[in-house]
A and B are shown apart, each in its own frame.
Chain A
Amino acid sequence: MKKLVLVAGALLLFSLLFPNGVQLPKPKPVVVVPVAPDVTPDSTIVKLLKDATAEDKARIVSIYEGMAYVLRRDVGARLNTTEKWAEFQANTLQLAVEQVGKYPGLDDAIESVFARSVGTDDVVSSTPENQQKLINACEIIIASAQ
């Protein structure tokens, strides 16, 4: 009984001394700083967008960042072939681009980036390697539009 009274007393004293509880040290959040990939901009795209407005450049960067993000999230589940990717890119651009052809030749230049990166015009499956090639192509376009 005496022990119980002692424990209750200790708890009461603790609550009076620390009415808001004890602040335990919080672990510092680990900040992951994304390492910028070593990407060489495509000279043709850079040239085509030389006089582009900041808004247009930002739009292109945003579109391809979004598509690269989707590719990474998909892991080849839905975009399981390059044909599916082509359909996805076409649909995205049709929804996102207001003035098609504003920068003549930009579509061909972007096509060339994908063709060089993937290395074939056959429909191929989205193996992790091929998926990375598509992501690399998106990153080249992003770097070229910045």
Chain B
Amino acid sequence: MSAQETFFDNVFDVVASYETGFVGAYAPAPAQIEQFRMFIQEQGGTVDGRMACQQYGLENSGKGKLILAFMEILKLYKDSLPGPAQGRGDCVSHSSKNAALGTMCCEITAGKPDPISGKLEGAPDVSDAGRLAGVLSTEAIYNWRRHGGDGWSCVEAANVMLKESGLWLRKNYPEIDVDFTQYSARNAGIYGSRTPPESWLKIGREHLVQTATEVEDYDTLRDLLANGYCISSCGGESFSAERDEFGAARRTSKGWAHAMAYLAVDDRDIIKEKYDGDPLILVQNSWGQWNDGPRRIYKTEVDIPHGAFWARWSDIKNRYMIAFSGVNGWPPKKLKNYGAKGNI
């Protein structure tokens, strides 16, 4: 953690800072992990992702498949990825937001009714500016980090999104006198060691993440993503800014104390053959268009989002991973009509 606030001028500054020891993501205190696990259990959730997959019959549902959860985000909100580049050390809130957005969009496009309300949730409207800035606010999460510097842990962010500040649409919030339409690194630090007031809590609790699970093995990661549960990860691994011919980036030795979201997985045999048996996981970074190289997914007509890259499972397996397995979304959309009006 950095005790001082750290702002970045541009994408080169972000990359250079992370590559020279800036700590955007750190390991949480055991008490924080315990708090997270207790809360999930109290809510009737399952902390262990593998157990959750067994419990809900998700095992092997993604086996051998190419799973593109990010497509569901782009179906509803075109060009919303990669979203704005970080302007400070708030990667954890970007990673958490991207994972929650993925889960939210997958729930909507799958047409699954909300497990609590039983209603089908709709895709909330967001302005073009808000869409291009990533649909959901990261600042509304990061203001709850409870210290005055920069850097956070994935588990603390999950605790906040489960209890205090979930999904905020990118728009103006006159009731708290903050406009979250555009990303602002300054707005991410309105509060720090002092937590946001009741007025923030009231809005933040309207769309909380409903439950989350820890992910410790590849099969669980694959099967959760196959069912639309996207993942936020924290760790020390760093990757090349050049993607290879299949869009994958090799791991480098510099190391980043960083958080990044996982929004797809490629478990196809044709891919595993190319990477010594390793499947690939799509890592969505939060540095804007920071990397180069081919984006086309092998044997498809689909491109991965800008700023993303495929990573081998063996390169990311030691990261701390949390899947967001449900969000309290927005009310159902109203039908304009059933399709006959004006057509017969």
- Report how far A89 CA is from B344 CA in the complex, Å: 10
**Contact indicator A123/B339 (Cβ below 8 Å):** no
B343 in contact with A107 (CB, 8 Å): yes
Whether the Cβ atoms of A124 and B343 lie closer than 8 Å is no
Given the contacts A123-B333, A123-B334, A125-B113, A93 and B339 also touching, CB distance less than 8 Å: yes
Secondary structure call for the A interface: helix
Binary interface encoding of chain A residues 117-146 relative to chain B, with 1 for a CB under 8 A from any of its CBs, else 0: 010011111100000000000000000000
A97 at the interface (CB under 8 A from B): yes
The smallest beta-carbon distance between A56 and chain B, in angstroms, is: 10
A66–B13 Cα distance when bound, in Å, is: 60
Interface residues of A in 85-99 (CB under 8 A from B): 85-94, 97
User: Given the known A-B contacts A97-B344, A107-B344, are A87 and B120 also in contact in the complex, defined by CB atoms under 8 Å?
Assistant: no
Assembled-state Cα–Cα distance A82/B332 (Å): 11
Residues of A within 8 A of B122 (CB): 123
Cβ proximity bits B298-340 to A, threshold 8 Å, 1 near / 0 not? 0000000000000000000000000000000000111111111
Please encode chain B, from 100 to 144, with 1 for each CB lying within 8 Å of some chain A CB and 0 for all others.
000000000011110000011010000000000000000000000
User: Do B339 and A86 touch (CB < 8 A)?
Assistant: yes
CA distance A103 to B344 in the complex (A): 8
Contacts of B334 in A (CB 8 A): 121-123
Which B residues are in CB contact (< 8 Å) with A46?
Answer: none
Q: Which of A87, A103, A108 has the most CB of B within 10 A?
A: A108
In this complex, the interface size class of chain B, counting residues with CB under 8 Å from chain A, is 20 to 34
| Interchain CB contact under 8 A, B120 and A124 | yes
Count residues of chain A with CB under 8 A from any CB of chain B.
34
**Residues on the B chain within 8 Å of A107, using CB:** 340-344
Tell me if B344 and A100 are in contact (CB < 8 A): yes
Q: Are B337 and A86 in contact (CB under 8 A)?
A: yes
Chain A residue, CB-CB nearest to B332: A122
Which residue in chain B gives the minimum CB-CB distance to A108? B341
**How many Å from the CB of B341 to the closest CB on chain A?**
5
Interchain nearest-CB distance for B164 vs A (Å): 29
Find out whether the CB atom of A106 lies under 8 angstroms from the CB atom of B344. yes
Closest CB-CB distance, B127 to chain A, in whole Å?
22
Q: Are B343 and A90 in contact (CB under 8 A)?
A: yes
Shortest beta-carbon distance from A94 to chain B in Å: 6
Contacts of B110 in A (CB 8 A): 80
Q: What residues of B have a CB within 8 angstroms of the CB of A94 in the complex?
A: 343
Of A97, A121, A126, which is within 8 A of B343 by CB?
A: A97
Shortest beta-carbon distance, A95 to chain B, in Å? 10
Cα-based distance from A5 to B262 in the complex (angstroms): 77
Contacts of A121 in B (CB 8 A): 334-335
B338 touches A114 (CB 8 A): yes
Partner of B111, one of A81, A100, A108, A114: A81
Across the interface, name the chain B residue whose C-beta is closest to A95: B343
Within 8 A of B (CB), among A38-60: 60
In Å, the complex CA distance between A125 and B108 comes to 10
Inter-subunit contact B340/A111 (CB<8 Å): yes
With contact pairs A80-B111, A123-B334, A125-B111 given, residues A100 and B120 touching in the complex (Cβ less than 8 Å):
no
Q: How far is the CB of A51 from chain B (nearest CB, A)?
A: 16
Closest Cβ neighbor of A126 among chain B residues: B111
How far does the Cβ of B228 sit from chain A's closest Cβ, in whole Å? 13
Residues of A within 8 A of B120 (CB): 81, 122-125
8 contacts between A and B (CB under 8 A): A80-B110, A86-B338, A89-B343, A90-B340, A93-B340, A100-B343, A123-B120, A125-B120
Q: Name A's B-contacting residues (CB within 8 A).
A: 60, 76, 80-94, 97, 100, 103, 106-108, 110-111, 114-115, 118, 121-126
Name B residues whose Cβ lies closer than 8 Å to a Cβ of A.
110-113, 119-120, 122, 332-344
A-B residue pairs, 8 tightest by C-beta: A89-B339, A93-B343, A114-B338, A90-B339, A86-B339, A110-B340, A80-B111, A125-B111
